[in-house]
């Protein structure tokens, strides 16, 4: 498979075994800047493993992953974590906000870890919270906000560093459909406005409908789907 020209992140023939379980069995993937790609498939099909490989969190046993022309396998662990901090953003099913910090401190955290001053970091954080319509929650702690609000705070946190790729693994999996759709609307609008690519793992067709393209994973193998509409 030749990746489309202009691809930002390309994976070919990925294999990954956990003991006797073949989580990935020749999966491929590609995405270009600003594109929202849904990774669909039943539970246990290898979606999260694919996302973790693409993000340089898990090393595949074989196959290649190229980000902006660089092969991830040739980078050191330190280089890969630096790349994750500078170029990637993450949203998981459960927001994984730090419970002791306020919402604005949570959103500001990635910038603080990169050495940005508290004042500048919280200013940028508030800007993103406004876009995700959760700025009124700035002084609250994660335990004091609803699931949908918490996920919007998590999306703001994932975008605050201006990532080129946003990895979202079942970001609405713990939400009711109304809140889930609002999170998806705000997430995809925000990503498109910054030209960030979004790798969106989901098993819900309703959520995948927010993507530009779908890839279906089954038994560790991937297939590109043509949009039916």
Ligand X SMILES: Nc1ncnc2c1ncn2[C@@H]1O[C@H](COP(=O)(O)OP(=O)(O)O)[C@@H](O)[C@H]1O
Out of 27, 30, 41, 124, name the contact with ligand X by CB under 6 A: 41
What binding mask, one character per residue, do residues 152-181 give for Mg ion by CB under 5 A, x or -?
A: ------------------------------
Tokens of 170: 């079942």
Find out whether 145 and 153 touch, Cβ atoms under 8 Å: yes
| Cα three-residue angle 166-206-53, rounded to 5 degrees | 35
Which residue, 27 or 184, is less far from ligand X as judged by CB?
27
If one asks whether residue 48 binds Mg ion (CB under 5 A), the answer comes out as yes
Question: Where does 36-175 show beta strands of DSSP type E?
Answer: 36-40, 62-67, 70-71, 88-91, 165-169
Q: Is 117 exposed, middle or buried (0-12, 13-18, 19+ CB in 10 A)?
A: exposed
If one asks whether residue 53 binds ligand X (CB under 6 A), the answer comes out as no
Choose from Mg ion, ligand X, none: what does 45 bind? Cβ within 5-8 Å by kind: ligand X
Strand pairing class (62-67; 70-71): antiparallel
If one asks whether residue 49 binds ligand X (CB under 6 A), the answer comes out as yes
Q: How far is the CB of 44 from Mg ion (least distance, A)?
A: 8
Which residue, 21 or 177, is less far from ligand X as judged by CB?
21
Choose from ligand X, Mg ion, none: what does 74 bind? Cβ within 5-8 Å by kind: none
Max CA separation in the chain (angstroms): 50
Q: How far is the CB of 126 from ligand X (least distance, A)?
A: 34
11 vs 50: CA distance, rounded Å: 9
Residue of closest CB approach to Mg ion: 48
Segment interacting with Mg ion, rule: CB under 5 A, options 45-53, 89-97, 122-130, 187-195? 45-53
Describe the chain by its helix, strand, coil percentages, rounded to 5. Answer: 40, 25, 35
Closest CA to 155 of 164, 144, 141, 166: 166
If one asks whether residue 171 binds ligand X (CB under 6 A), the answer comes out as no
Which residue, 48 or 222, is less far from ligand X as judged by CB?
48
Q: How far is the CB of 131 from Mg ion (least distance, A)?
A: 27
Residues found near ligand X in the complex (CB under 6 A): 18, 21, 23, 41, 43-49
Residues found near Mg ion in the complex (CB under 5 A): 48
């Amino acid at each position: 498979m030749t990746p489309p020209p202009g691809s930002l992140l390309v994976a070919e023939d990925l294999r990954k075994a956990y003991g006797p379980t073949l989580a990935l069995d020749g999966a491929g993937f590609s995405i270009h800047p600003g594109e929202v790609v849904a990774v669909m498939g039943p539970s246990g099909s290898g979606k999260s493993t694919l996302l973790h490989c693409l993000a340089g969190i898990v090393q595949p046993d074989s196959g290649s992953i190229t980000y902006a022309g660089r092969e991830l396998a040739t980078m050191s662990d330190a280089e890969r974590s630096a790349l994750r901090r500078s170029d990637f953003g993450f949203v998981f099913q459960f927001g994984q906000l730090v419970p002791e910090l306020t919402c604005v401190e949570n959103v500001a955290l990635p910038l603080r870890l990169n050495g940005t001053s508290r004042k500048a970091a919280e200013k940028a954080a508030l800007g993103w919270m406004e876009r995700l319509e959760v700025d009124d929650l700035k002084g609250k702690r994660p335990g004091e906000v609803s699931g949908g609000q918490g996920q919007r705070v998590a999306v703001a946190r994932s975008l605050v560093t201006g990532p080129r790729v946003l990895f979202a693994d079942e970001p609405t999996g713990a939400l009711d459909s109304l809140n889930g759709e609002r999170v998806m609307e705000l997430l995809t609008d925000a990503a498109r406005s910054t030209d960030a690519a979004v790798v969106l793992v989901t098993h819900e067709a309703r959520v995948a409908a927010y993507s530009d393209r779908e890839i279906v994973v089954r038994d560790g193998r991937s297939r590109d789907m043509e949009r039916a509409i």
